[in-house]
Structure formats: structure tokens, C-alpha cells
């Protein structure tokens, strides 16, 4: 009888000692809460340019569109290979970083040519 209690106590202690991250990693990928990297990626997706700066569709614009498409394909591929939460977070973080870099590189090139990204500032 004492051994049973000790065994139950050991099992309970082991269950309590499981880190919270392990419990999240055991969840199916679709049921996980949105991570900071996913939120960042979602924000960067909202900033994807849909029209060329100043209406000039040059080689830089087409490169930008191609880079965005390539980033989306790479995210999809990385998520298919993701086996845990850390892999998914890395994929979304890389995706958001690539989208931001592509957008800023294109905007920088166009600003060097004298065309800037229009901005609207709202005040109270």
C-alpha cells in the first residue's frame, strides 16, 4: 500500500513538474494560440505594397512582388515541416523579417530615385 501511494505521489509530482511549454508543444499546431511572431507576420502582411510607388512599375517593383511571393511560399514550406512550436515561431519570424526587408529595400531604392512612399499622419 505504501508503494502505491509513493508511486501515485511520484506520478503527480512528475505531472506537475512538466513545463508549460511542453504542454503547449503537445497541442496540435492549429489549436495553438497566436504567437508574437505570427502577430508580427500578420502586421507585415498588412503592409505589403499592392501598387508601385508613384505608379512606376519598374524592375524593382517586379523584384519586390517576386520576393513577397517567394517569402509566402517559403513560409508555407517551413510550416509544413514544423514539428513543434519553436519551428513555427522561427518560420513566422523569418517570414515577417523578409517581408519588412523587401518592403524597405524597395522603398529605399525608389526614394533614392526621388519617389517617396506617401504617408498620412493622423492627430487627435
Q: Which residues contact 54 (CB under 8 A, 6 or more apart)?
A: 110, 115
Q: Could you give the percent of the chain with pLDDT greater than 70?
A: 73
**Residue of 92, 110, 77 whose CA lies nearest to 41:** 92
The residue to which cell 520576393 is assigned: 67
Residue 33 grid coordinates:
494560440
Global model pTM greater than 0.95: no
Q: How far apart are CA 8 and CA 29, in angstroms?
A: 31
Query: Among 12-21, 31-40, 103-112, which stretch is predicted with the lowest mean pLDDT?
Result: 12-21
58-78 pLDDT tens trace: 999 999 999 999 999 999 999
Per-domain boundaries in the chain = 28-112
CA distances from 21 to 13, 62, 104, 122 (A): 17, 42, 34, 41
23-65 pLDDT tens trace: 344 445 566 678 999 999 999 999 999 999 999 999 999 999 9
Amino acid at each position: 500500500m505504501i508503494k502505491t501511494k509513493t508511486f501515485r505521489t511520484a506520478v503527480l509530482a512528475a505531472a506537475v513538474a512538466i513545463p508549460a511549454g511542453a504542454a503547449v508543444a503537445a497541442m496540435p499546431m492549429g489549436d495553438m494560440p497566436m504567437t508574437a511572431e505570427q502577430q508580427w507576420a500578420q502586421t507585415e502582411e498588412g503592409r505589403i505594397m499592392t501598387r508601385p510607388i508613384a505608379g512606376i512599375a519598374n524592375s524593382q517593383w517586379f523584384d519586390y512582388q517576386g520576393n513577397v511571393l517567394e517569402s509566402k511560399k517559403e513560409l508555407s514550406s517551413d510550416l509544413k515541416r514544423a514539428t513543434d512550436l519553436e519551428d513555427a515561431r522561427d518560420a513566422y519570424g523569418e517570414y515577417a523579417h523578409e517581408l519588412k526587408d523587401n518592403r524597405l529595400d524597395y522603398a529605399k531604392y525608389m526614394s533614392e530615385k526621388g519617389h517617396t512612399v506617401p504617408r498620412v499622419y493622423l492627430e487627435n
